[in-house]
Amino acid sequence: MCTMEKRKRKVKNKRKTIMRLSLVIIGLLALVALGVLGALTIIKNRSVAQATLVEQSFNSSDQYVYTGTGFFYLQGDTLTYEDKANSRNNYKGQITTQAVSLLGSADMLVIYNDISIKVIGEEFPVEFSGALRSVTCGNGYIAALRADTNGNETILVIDSTGAKYDEIPVQNQYIVSYGFFSADGEYLYVLGLTLDSSTPLSTITVYNISRKTTSGMMSVQSQLVESMRFSKSSIYAVGTNSIIRFSLADNNESYRATVYGWRELDYDSSTANPSFLLCPRSSSALNTVKILQLSDTKVATSTEKMLQLPSGTKEAFLMNGRLVAVSELGYTVYDYAGKKLSYVEFPSMIDSVEKLDGTQLLITAGNHVYTTKV
């Protein structure tokens, strides 16, 4: 009997020992699993960079413009300018009418309506009769496309003091676009489409503002010119069939690069060879893009790089030698050779995004407006 009881006790003790060992092993496995999960979480958190968003003082429903160094905005009847580079340039003032539009550059703040244009800081506005079509702002000048009471169109040039400086007739053509660019001085270009031609005929006229003279005239036939781009040595006419390079010095055509079936999204002149971002003209989604780099000389050289963008890309920009593809959740950065450099996550989903300059994005989320450096 004693022997049998001893055996039973041994078996019982053995079972208890096995159970204890099993519990210890299970506990250790659980700790290991938690450790692995924690390590993976830390690795994930370390590998995904977070964007730093700087909230602005105005709302997305307010009227605002970026001047290159700060924001000029209208809230109610209060005009405000916040210069991010130099707070001494900050401005705040009241207006008596809500029906105004804003323009600005690093050197000038402008408000305008249907009958007048006013440079902030100057006492009197420039008033005119007829219809104001549009206004654009350069560094030292304003250009306004207007029609007189007979329907004749001219571009009125106003200087930074708010005085009328010059008036350029632009009759017998539809004005596609116009604007300022800088080379050895400030220039105004006017892109017009001739109305009495059986085939598309675009005319690009360049005016030397300081001399009040026409410095060049270029023509493009059999395709529509959709935009104009400028670099240190070149004028590029971006057409539906090709991008045409003209010399800035003599306005002569140098070469053409075929872009039929593609449309331009963005442009970057910060690199040695100016770069164009293109996407298929037939596609509404940003899946495939092409970076086309063209020479800034009379010698025709080019390189192309095709990229597949991440799913959900809302916008894509060229920013100082980098391609930035933005989704609602974050942005991916590539070099112009197509190599992925980084992915940066937003703190929360965004609604819209635009490029401010070569280093900054403007983001809206709800009624909030943010900037972030890329």
Look at residue 136 in the predicted model and tell me its pLDDT: 97
Residues 178 and 161 in one domain: no
33: in domain: no
d(C-alpha 95, C-alpha 351), whole Å? 31
Phi-psi sector, 6: left (phi>0), alpha (psi -120 to 50), beta: alpha
Last residue of a domain, one of 146, 167, 188: 167
Cβ-proximal residues to 254 (8 Å cutoff; 6+ apart), any chain:
234, 245, 246, 247, 297, 298, 299, 300
> How confident is the model at residue 15, as a pLDDT?
58
Among 235, 260, 285, residue at a domain's last position: 260
What SS3 class is residue 250? coil
166 burial (CB, 10 Å; 0-12 / 13-18 / 19+) is: middle
Give the number of C-alpha atoms closer than 13 A to the C-alpha of residue 254, restricted to the C-beta side: 21
| Torsion region of 139: left, alpha or beta (phi above 0 gives left; psi -120 to 50 gives alpha) | alpha
What the block records as the tokens of 292 is 């086309």
Q: Are 79 and 95 in contact (CB under 8 A)?
A: yes
Residue pair 67/74 in contact (Cβ under 8 Å)? The answer is no
- Predicted local distance difference test score (pLDDT) of residue 171: 81
Domain boundary among 260, 282, 300: 260
Q: Do 298 and 246 fall within a single domain?
A: no
Shared domain check, 179 and 149: no
Q: What CATH number does the domain containing 74 carry?
A: 2.130.10.10
| Total tally of structural domains belonging to the chain | 3
210 and 291 assigned to the same domain: no
**Count of H helices and E strands in the chain?**
1, 33
| Number of neighbours of residue 170 by Cβ within 10 angstroms | 18
Q: Running along the chain, 374 residues long, what does each successive block of 10 average in pLDDT? A: 50 55 53 48 64 97 96 96 93 88 93 93 89 93 93 94 93 93 92 87 95 94 96 96 96 96 97 96 93 96 96 97 98 97 97 97 98 97
Neighbours of 158 (CB within 10 A): 24
pLDDT at 203: 96
Asked if 241 and 225 touch (Cβ cutoff 8 Å), the reply is no
Q: Are both 200 and 299 inside the same structural domain?
A: no
Look up the domain containing 354 and give its range. 272-374
What pLDDT score was predicted for residue 29? 55
Same domain? For 66 and 151 the reply is: yes
